[in-house]
């Protein structure tokens, strides 16, 4: 179904206002956003549907890159998706060749926050290297396991030799 026809059907369902129609409109618009992730107009329409449904976190998610957005919805989105990496993944932004300057600035800030989050995680990871005591204990454990394996294999060979040898 062409995009414009799908948008007309979703708008009609949204105008009806009953829950089943609004949910169908949400489904149609979600499909369009998944197909055309860089179209801000589709994201704004999906945000409007979530406003009707009373879901401010999702409304903030889909209006996050819009020129005009409700800061309370954005705050709800940021509470629902606590880390910058989770927010960036939730936005499902692909390319953005035909995007606005506002969206570019917001995406750049979010990507910078993701980079900072990754740097912080890597810094913590570097500090958590295992100590030499832990490495020695692991090595001793491996030696014990290998020794048990060798003793077990020798025992089986001796048992088979006695069984068939007599």
d(CA 4, CA 42): 11
> How high is the pLDDT of residue 132?
82
Q: Distance of CA 103 to CAs 40, 63, 96, Å? A: 9, 10, 9
* pTM of the complete model: 0.71
Where does 3-127 sit in CATH, by number?
Answer: 1.25.40
Q: Whose structure tokens read 């169908």?
A: 24
Q: Are 3 and 36 in contact (CB under 8 A)?
A: yes
> How high is the pLDDT of residue 83?
94
Positions in the chain whose pLDDT score sits under 50: none
Chain Cα centroid distance, residue 92: 9
d(CA 118, CA 36): 28
> How high is the pLDDT of residue 95?
72
pLDDT, tens digit, 9 for 90 and up, residues 29-55:
999 999 988 889 999 999 999 999 999
> How high is the pLDDT of residue 143?
96
Of 28, 97, 27, 100, the C-alpha closest to 63 is 100
Rg of the chain, C-alpha, whole Å: 29
Q: Whose structure tokens read 């912080």?
A: 120
d(CA 128, CA 73): 38
Give the residue extent of every domain in the chain: 3-127, 133-166
> How high is the pLDDT of residue 166?
62
> How high is the pLDDT of residue 125?
63
Task: Supply the angle between the helices 19-35 and 3-16 in degrees, to the nearest 10.
Answer: 160
């Amino acid at each position: 179904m062409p995009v414009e026809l799908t948008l007309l059907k979703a708008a009609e369902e949204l105008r009806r206002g009953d829950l089943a129609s609004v949910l169908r409109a949400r489904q149609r618009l979600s499909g369009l956003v998944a197909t055309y992730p860089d179209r801000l107009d589709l994201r704004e329409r999906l945000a409007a549907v979530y406003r009707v449904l009373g879901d401010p976190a999702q409304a903030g998610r889909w209006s996050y890159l819009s020129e005009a957005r409700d800061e309370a919805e954005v705050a709800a989105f940021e509470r629902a998706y606590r880390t910058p990496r989770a927010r960036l993944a939730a936005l499902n932004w692909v390319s953005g060749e035909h995007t606005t300057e506002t969206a570019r600035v917001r995406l750049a800030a979010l990507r910078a926050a993701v980079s900072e989050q990754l740097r912080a995680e890597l810094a913590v990871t570097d500090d958590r290297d295992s100590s030499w005591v832990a490495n020695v204990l692991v090595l001793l454990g491996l030696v014990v396991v290998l020794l048990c394996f060798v003793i077990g294999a020798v025992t089986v060979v001796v048992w088979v030799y006695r069984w068939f040898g007599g």
